[in-house]
Structures are given as structure tokens and as C-alpha cells.
């Protein structure tokens, strides 16, 4: 018997109807029009200084209560001395900090209140409610620049609460192009569900699959995949049969509607950016495992291009460690694509892709360091992603500070963003296994050619960020 009930109006925009659990809005005709207003620009800048700010989330900190550390960018890169550490016990943060909440399991930036400052969205899929429903989950929205006020987003009463794990994935974008960013959140319990919030009291929701068995490893990204100025969303997950899937949702004047499941396989991570340089965002899918995604041994990264009609698997390009120009060897267990990020490192108008491979074994002095991890920087081109000129970054590279150790898992999370304001994306790479699970983040600048400056490497670890031991710092990075 299904645990889900029909969706009622409490979650819907005025005049919208949810058809067949898909969240398609009927009777509006909005899809036929381009945006009239100026859509909210994507932003990761909470203090409006022109640099991207780094979110380092540690959902396993302090008995999985979870915490989030915001490190503002600056002319010298992320400034640890100006960090803001947030928990559910912080002033103005909704909720109560409790063991198992996993606050910070998913995070996203965006200007939700339209004041020009990036706001922070935080998923807590392990949140229990006061009625005894374990792992119901919740989503917190905190308003920049102070993060001392905000609100929360709860799973609708129309879904089964227990084990829903709402907030497993979040994304932010201006889905209705009204000048303020909106929030997308996914739950993995009972077949999966999704919801989108456009304003207080204006939300919509739907199901991810038609079954009741839980999905897993959800991740979401927002971008304008069809160039109509409405932000869209892509959600990847592993279905109950263990196969990776990607479903995408289209932004319209009246909100967000589910479109279809792509023929391209899902994975463990997604990111959005204009890899081909045609003015439309493309979808980058990290596919670390053959069994889930049909990936090449050791994992791969696939780019699904945006077109005038949205995402099209027909023109997808794929790179892996056996592709021409890619350093290293493709080996089972490398998990290339565990994490992916998108940004333009050389200002050529094509977004480039940084992909983590935390399962990479590295041999030094005839000794193998198991799961030491690495990351690969791939260049974007008009025809998609290419292996030509790919660069590897690991703690075993000359000039990179630190040393390679078994279990470091460098590449557990990655970010590409302009942290120093020079117009080029810089690198941030998590190593959540460093020092027996205490974790760290390696940040590298890029030069005028888009090449990572290895000797510029700076670590943001427990000493710099004040996170507790065994917090697995580097598990999650945003943007």
C-alpha cells in the first residue's frame, strides 16, 4: 500500500494543479513566454565584495549534529580569520541542534530575499520532528549578510514523514524569473519527493518516482538549460534498483514543472554551467561507478548540453582517465566523478570542470597509498568537455603542500569559484579523510592561463576553521 497521499493545495501556487504526482502546472500557458522581469542573478557573494564565498559544511560534526562554516572570499582568497560558524544553536537559526540531524548535508547559495546579498540554504535530512517521526528532514534558509535570521522549509503533510530525509539535496535559482531566487529541495524516502518554494505560502511539490522504495545519493543543480531566462533544475539519484537516474525540471512564469528523466545515466554529483559557450547552461554529471551509471572503470564525467528545448542526452560528451590527454590510469574504485564543480578558469567563455576521484590510489616510494585521492581539471570547449590538456591535482604533485596518505580521500568535494576577485575560477578541494577523518580543504589559485598555481596551495583545516575532530571537514563544499 502506498504511504503517499494526493497532494493538496497547501503546497501549491494559487491556481496550480498537480497532475499525476509530477508537479506539472496546468492551465497557465506560462511555458510559452520568456521572462518579463530581470531574473535574480546566481550569486555566492554574501557580503557583496565581488568575490565568491566558500561554504564548508560538516554534517557529521559533533555526533552528526552538523555545522556550516562560511569563509568569505577576498583579494587574497578565502579569509579564514573572517569565518562565520553556524549551527542550529546559533542566534537566529531556526530549529534545535540535535545528534543525527546532519545539518549541512546539502547547501546552496542564492539571493532569496532580493537584497543583493547571497543567502544560504541548508539541508538537514536527519532532522526528527516533535511527533516522533525519525529522519523526517528539514531545510533552513538563512539571510545574508549576517545569517542571524531566516526561516525553514518543511516536508508537506501530504508525504510520509518517517524516513523521508527531506533536504538530502537542495538547489537555488530564480525558477519564475521574478527577481528573487527560489528554493528546490528533495527527499529520498518512499520513492523520493521534491518541492519548490517561491515565496512564503507559495510552494509546489511532487514525487520523484512512482514507487515507495527509498532512493539514495540525491544531488541537485540549477541552471538555465534552455536559455529562456528561467532557472531550471536537474536532480540525480540512485533508484531502488541501484541505477543512476537524472530528472530535470523546467522553470516557468508560474513556477517549476517536471519535464522528463534523461536517457543519460545519473551518478553521485551534478553541477550546471555553460561548458559549450552557447549561452545556455549544460549539465555536468559525475558518474563514479560502473554498476550505477555504466561508467568506464574508475568513473567518468558526462556533460549533457543545454539546447533551446532543454537538456538533450543526444549531444552528451564523456571523459574519463582513459580518454586522450587525461593523466593517470582508469582503475576500478578510483571514483572519478564522486564530486564535480563548474567554473571558467581561463576566461575563454567556456566553463571548465573540476572532478574529484577520492578513491584514487597513489604509489610513492614503492608504497601504495590507498584512497589517497586526486582531482582532475577538464577544459570546456564548443563541442563539450575534452580530456586534452587535463590537469591532475593531488598532494603528491610537485609544489603542492602536504603529503599523500592512505585514506585522505582528496576530491571528496570540489568547488570552482572566483574566491579572489580576479575574474577566474579558483579551486577548492576537500579531503574528508585527512588525519583519520578530521578532514581539510586545499585551496589553489589559477594563473592567467587557467592553470592551478600549485605552490599557492593553502589548507583550511581544524586549526583554521575550528571544526571538531572527526568532523570530516571537506565532505561538502559550496559553490
Q: Assess whether pLDDT exceeds 60 at residue 33.
A: no
pLDDT of residue 423: 96
Residue 398 banded pLDDT, cuts 50, 70, 90 = confident
Q: Assess whether pLDDT exceeds 60 at residue 421.
A: yes
pLDDT of residue 353: 98
Q: Which of 181, 105, 116 is nearest to 140 (CA)?
A: 105
Cis peptide before 275 (omega within 30 of 0): no
Residue 15 banded pLDDT, cuts 50, 70, 90 = very low
Q: Assess whether pLDDT exceeds 90 at residue 71.
A: yes
Q: pTM of the predicted model, to two decimals?
A: 0.92
d(CA 399, CA 224) in angstroms, rounded, equals 38
What is the arithmetic mean of pLDDT over 277-285? 97
d(CA 388, CA 243) in angstroms, rounded, equals 30
Residue 17 banded pLDDT, cuts 50, 70, 90 = very low
pLDDT of residue 22: 33
Residue that has been written with the C-alpha cell 581539510 in this structure: 440
Q: Name the strand (E) or helix (H) holding 64.
A: helix 61-64
Residue 240 banded pLDDT, cuts 50, 70, 90 = very high
pLDDT of residue 37: 63
Q: What is the mean pLDDT of the chain?
A: 91
What is the arithmetic mean of pLDDT over 196-219? 94
Q: Could you tell me which residue, 414 or 366, shows the higher pLDDT?
A: 414
The three three-digit cell numbers of residue 73, written as one number = 572570499
pLDDT of residue 1: 29
Please state, as a whole number, how many other Cβ atoms lie within 10 Å of the Cβ of residue 181: 28
pLDDT of residue 241: 96
Residue 29 banded pLDDT, cuts 50, 70, 90 = very low
Q: Residues, the chain, total? A: 479
Residue that has been written with the C-alpha cell 581539471 in this structure: 377
d(CA 238, CA 285) in angstroms, rounded, equals 13
Please state, as a whole number, how many other Cβ atoms lie within 10 Å of the Cβ of residue 85: 15
The three three-digit cell numbers of residue 289, written as one number = 561507478
Give pLDDT tens digits for 427-461.
999 999 999 999 999 999 999 999 999 989 999 99
Indicate the range of 33-42, 136-145, 215-224 predicted with least confidence.
33-42
pLDDT of residue 13: 25
Q: Assess whether pLDDT exceeds 70 at residue 367.
A: yes
Return the CATH class of domain 129-137+153-478.
mainly beta
Residue boundaries of the structural domains of the chain: 129-137+153-478
d(CA 286, CA 264) in angstroms, rounded, equals 11
- Which runs of consecutive H residues, i.e. helices, occur in 119-250? none
Amino acid at each position: 500500500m502506498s504511504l503517499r497521499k494526493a497532494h493538496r493545495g497547501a503546497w501549491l501556487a494559487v491556481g496550480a494543479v498537480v497532475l499525476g504526482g509530477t508537479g506539472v502546472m496546468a492551465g497557465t500557458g506560462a511555458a510559452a513566454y520568456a521572462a518579463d522581469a530581470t531574473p535574480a542573478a546566481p550569486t555566492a557573494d554574501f557580503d557583496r565584495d565581488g568575490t565568491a564565498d566558500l561554504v564548508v559544511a560538516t554534517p557529521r560534526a559533533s555526533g552528526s549534529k552538523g555545522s556550516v562554516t562560511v569563509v568569505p572570499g577576498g583579494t587574497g582568497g578565502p579569509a579564514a580569520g573572517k569565518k562565520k560558524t553556524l549551527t542550529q544553536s546559533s542566534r537566529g537559526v531556526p530549529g534545535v541542534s540535535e545528534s543525527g540531524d546532519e545539518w549541512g548535508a546539502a547547501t546552496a547559495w542564492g539571493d532569496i530575499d532580493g537584497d543583493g546579498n547571497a543567502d544560504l540554504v541548508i539541508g538537514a535530512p536527519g532532522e526528527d520532528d516533535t511527533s516522533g517521526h525519525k529522519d523526517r528532514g528539514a531545510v533552513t534558509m538563512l539571510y545574508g549578510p549576517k545569517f542571524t535570521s531566516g526561516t525553514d522549509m518543511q516536508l508537506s503533510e501530504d508525504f510520509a514523514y518517517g524516513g523521508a530525509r527531506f533536504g538530502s539535496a537542495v538547489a537555488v535559482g530564480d525558477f519564475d524569473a521574478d527577481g528573487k531566487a527560489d528554493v528546490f529541495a528533495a527527499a529520498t524516502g518512499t520513492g523520493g519527493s521534491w518541492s519548490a518554494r517561491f515565496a512564503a505560502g507559495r510552494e509546489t511539490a511532487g514525487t520523484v518516482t512512482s514507487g515507495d522504495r527509498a532512493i539514495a545519493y540525491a544531488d541537485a543543480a540549477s541552471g538555465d538549460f534552455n536559455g529562456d531566462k528561467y532557472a531550471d533544475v536537474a536532480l540525480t539519484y540512485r533508484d531502488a534498483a541501484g541505477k543512476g537516474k537524472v530528472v530535470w525540471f523546467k522553470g516557468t512564469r508560474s513556477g517549476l514543472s517536471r519535464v522528463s528523466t534523461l536517457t543519460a545515466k545519473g551518478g553521485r554529483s551534478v553541477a550546471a554551467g555553460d561548458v559549450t559557450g552557447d549561452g545556455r547552461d549544460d549539465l555536468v554529471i559525475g558518474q563514479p561507478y560502473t554498476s550505477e551509471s555504466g561508467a568506464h572503470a574508475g568513473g567518468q564525467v558526462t556533460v549533457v548540453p543545454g539546447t533551446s528545448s532543454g537538456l538533450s542526452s543526444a549531444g552528451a560528451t564523456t571523459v574519463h582517465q582513459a580518454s586522450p590527454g587525461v593523466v593517470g590510469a582508469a582503475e576500478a574504485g578510483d571514483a572519478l566523478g564522486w564530486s564535480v564543480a563548474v567554473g571558467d578558469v581561463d576566461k575563454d567563455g567556456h566553463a571548465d570542470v573540476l572532478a574529484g576521484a577520492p578513491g584514487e590510489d597513489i604509489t610513492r616510494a614503492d608504497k601504495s597509498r590507498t584512497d589517497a585521492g586526486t582531482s582532475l581539471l577538464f577544459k570546456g570547449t564548443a563541442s563539450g568537455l575534452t580530456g586534452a590538456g587535463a590537469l591532475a591535482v593531488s598532494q603528491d604533485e610537485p609544489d603542492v603542500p602536504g603529503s599523500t596518505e592512505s585514506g585522505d580521500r582528496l576530491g571528496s568535494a570540489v568547488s570552482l569559484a572566483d574566491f579572489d576577485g580576479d575574474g577566474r575560477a579558483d579551486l577548492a578541494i576537500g579531503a574528508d579523510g585527512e588525519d583519520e577523518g578530521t578532514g581539510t580543504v586545499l585551496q589553489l589559485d589559477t594563473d592567467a592561463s587557467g592553470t592551478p598555481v600549485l605552490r599557492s596551495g593553502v589548507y583550511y583545516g581544524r586549526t583554521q576553521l575550528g571544526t571538531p575532530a572527526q568532523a570530516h571537514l571537506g565532505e561538502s563544499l559550496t559553490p
